[in-house]
Amino acid sequence: MSLNDADVRRIARLARLRVSDEEVTEVGRQLNGILGLIEKLQAIDTEGVEPMSHARDVALRLRDDEATAPNIRDKFQAIAPAVENGLYLVPKVIE
């Protein structure tokens, strides 16, 4: 696929890019290069190749899910305007 100057101007307008008349030829050459690379990639036979989530087979190092901060809920609730059974009471906003 080869883009002409009109195609480049239209793509630039759709992408909200300002491309001057002097830049149209260079931008068109670059876009045609990108489209050529895409055509080459589409021509590669990928039959039997499983999709991967990452380019390398990596595993994340996980740590135990343990609380590290002290529980100071009682301290915070001591200064709250209204608390009941460990829950904050707030004014009703939806009827």
Q: What's the CATH code of the domain at 19?
A: 1.10.20
**Would you say the pTM of this structure is higher than 0.95?**
no
- 3-class secondary structure, 83: strand
In a domain, 50, yes or no: no
Domain of residue 9: give its range: 5-42
In a domain, 14, yes or no: yes
19 and 38 in contact (C-beta within 8 Å)? no
In a domain, 35, yes or no: yes
In a domain, 23, yes or no: yes
In a domain, 56, yes or no: no
The pLDDT, as a whole number, for residue 35 is 95
* Number of domains composing the chain: 1
**pLDDT band at residue 59, thresholds of 50, 70 and 90?**
confident
In a domain, 16, yes or no: yes
Compute the distance between CA of residue 59 and CA of residue 20 in angstroms, rounded to an integer: 48
**pLDDT band at residue 53, thresholds of 50, 70 and 90?**
confident
In a domain, 34, yes or no: yes
What tens digit of pLDDT does each residue of 33-44 get?
A: 999 999 999 999
Q: What is the rounded average pLDDT of the residues 17-28?
A: 94
